Chains A and B, each alone.
Chain A
Amino acid sequence: ELKVEQNPLFLSMQEGKNYTIYCNYSTTSDRLYWYRQDPGKSLESLFVLLSNGAVKQEGRLMASLDTKARLSTLHITAAVHDLSATYFCAVEETSGSRLTFGEGTQLTVNP
């Protein structure tokens, strides 16, 4: 059974600081997704990582995937308040199949 673990689960940081969220998974996969969820809302797709070594960046967020280590990171650079949300990683075992989600990281960026 595929297990996906995120850490930290809660992250409070100051504006302007950098931080990294980690996502570990237990079985072989080369398809990993990052999503953002605002309170009361559904998921917003942030990144799709489809191969070992994939790195994608959008604004202050950068995601990477190391399939050998079964690890993905979501790096936040110079955080701003608007980034406050819950961030989920999700792993797909095979193409077009079910997603298994991590527990989520609740990020709060303080002024």
Chain B
Amino acid sequence: GAVVSQHPSRVICKSGTSVKIECRSLDFQATTMFWYRQFPKKSLMLMATSNEGSKATYEQGVEKDKFLINHASLTLSTLTVTSAHPEDSSFYICSVLDRGIEQYFGPGTRLTVT
């Protein structure tokens, strides 16, 4: 299966600041990547679908101006949490779609906003 990396694995930031999370497809070119959020003891919730070269498609209830997604190349998508608040603290997981068949998940990024 595809190899996906995320950076950083953990980040702590102060309330009001912005933080960028990178998702990289290491062994193939991914035109589609997905961003999920997982709160403690909860399931994964899709935030947005990231398409290379076009605007991301956000799920209902996800603020596109707060969660900025850029998929500028076939191997990299970034998620920027702007003006972070403590309630944004969560586990953020990206996935890449391999040949339109299966999603492969990154190792996740744990964000803590103080």
Question: A: which residues have CB within 8 A of B?
Answer: 33, 35, 40-43, 45, 48, 88, 90, 95-96, 98-104
A90 proximity list for chain B (CB < 8 A): 44
Beta-carbon contacts of B94-114 to A below 8 Å, as 1s and 0s?
000100111111111010000
Contact of B49 among A35, A48, A98, A100 (CB under 8 A): A98
Which residues of chain B come closer than 8 Å to A43, judged between CB atoms?
44, 93, 105
Report if A41-B107 is in contact (Cβ < 8 Å); known contacts: A95-B100, A98-B34. Answer: yes
Range of interface residues on B (Cβ < 8 Å): 20 to 34
In the assembled complex, which residues on chain A have CB atoms less than 8 Å from the CB atom of B106?
Answer: 42
Q: Is B46 interfacial (CB-CB < 8 Å)?
A: yes
Q: Are A104 and B101 neighbours in the complex by a CB distance under 8 Å?
A: no
With a CB–CB cut-off of 8 A, which chain A residues contact B46? 98-100
- Whether B43 pairs with A101 at a CB distance below 8 angstroms is yes
A61 to B66, CA, bound (A): 41
Tell me if B1 counts as interface (CB < 8 A to partner A): yes
Q: Does B32 contact A (CB under 8 A)?
A: yes
Question: When the two chains form the complex, which single residue of B34, B49, B102, B105 contacts A42, counting CB atoms closer than 8 Å?
Answer: B105
Evaluate whether A101 and B44 lie within 8 angstroms (CB atoms) in the complex, with A42-B93, A45-B1 already known.
yes
**B108 x A42 contact (CB < 8 A):** yes
